[in-house]
Amino acid sequence: MGILDPWLPHAGTGIHDTRAQRDALDRAAGATPDDLGPEEFDAALTSRLVGAERLDASGRPFGYASAYAPGLLEVLALDLPSAVVLLDDEQVARRGLPVPRLLELGRVGLQRLMGATPPVRHEVTDGGRSVHVLLGESPFTASFARFISDALTLWHPDADLSGGMVFSLPHRHAVVYQMCATEQQTRDAVEIVPAQAAAMRTDDAPDLPTDTYFWLDRHVVPLPGPGHPLPGGHRQRSAS
């Protein structure tokens, strides 16, 4: 794959969990949130990253949602066999647990999916320039950016995150990123990551914002415009 080539995943995904979790999900097959008992609800619960504009456009209340980055919110969802259901305030309240506890359960669910439905990492290059793409069949692949440093520990263990990284979410099945440990990497991160993500973006998956983000020491901010330095006291080393 060359830089700026669109790249879409094959359809379909599977979840592999403990027997108890599989049994609970099997019982939830074809169900709606209101049909689920507590065990089935908790087994299907996960967190998901969604654009703020997408939630606003839904007309449903998501007051409990927490900001992961400007314009990018973390919400709760049910990963049911037949659909992924975003949970609004009323649906969350019906579970009868405090929101912090539900968010904790949802994050555990998302981390479980990271282990069960791993994406494939690709390095895309052109003329000595490069970025990386995590591409997966799971509709939660982009949401793995909620734990981006943990994700790279799993799938890019030699990544040097000392200078931070730039990432973007072109659609729910992909994360485009580049580290900023060297001058060359930083140039590619700032210039190529947004362009690569734009080339991969699809009109049929409007859940995510078109922004590009800078991550450093578990803090996430929007990528500054051209000519502006990276925020957060960015540490940059010369390329060797």
What is the tens place of the pLDDT at every residue in 51-102?
999 999 999 999 999 999 999 999 999 998 878 999 999 999 999 999 999 9
DSSP codes, 23-53: HHHHHTTT--GGG--HHHHHHHEEEEEEEHH
Q: Please report, for the chain, the start and end positions of each structural domain, with discontinuous segments joined by +.
A: 19-116, 120-222
Q: What six digits make up the tokens of 184?
A: 């060359």
Do the beta carbons of residue 164 and residue 219 sit within 8 Å?
A: no
pLDDT (0 to 100) of residue 31: 54
Cβ 173 vs Cβ 137: under 8 Å:
yes
Burial (CB count within 10 angstroms: exposed 0-12, middle 13-18, buried 19+), residue 131 = buried
Question: Is 0.85 topped by the overall pTM?
Answer: no
The stretches in the chain having pLDDT less than 70 are 1-33, 203-205, 226-228, 231-240
Residue 5's pLDDT is 54
Asked whether 134 and 144 are in contact (CB, 8 A), the reply is yes
What local confidence, expressed as pLDDT, does residue 138 receive?
94
Query: For residue 224, what pLDDT is reported?
Result: 79
Instruction: Outline where 45-147 has alpha helix (H).
Output: 52-58, 89-94, 99-116
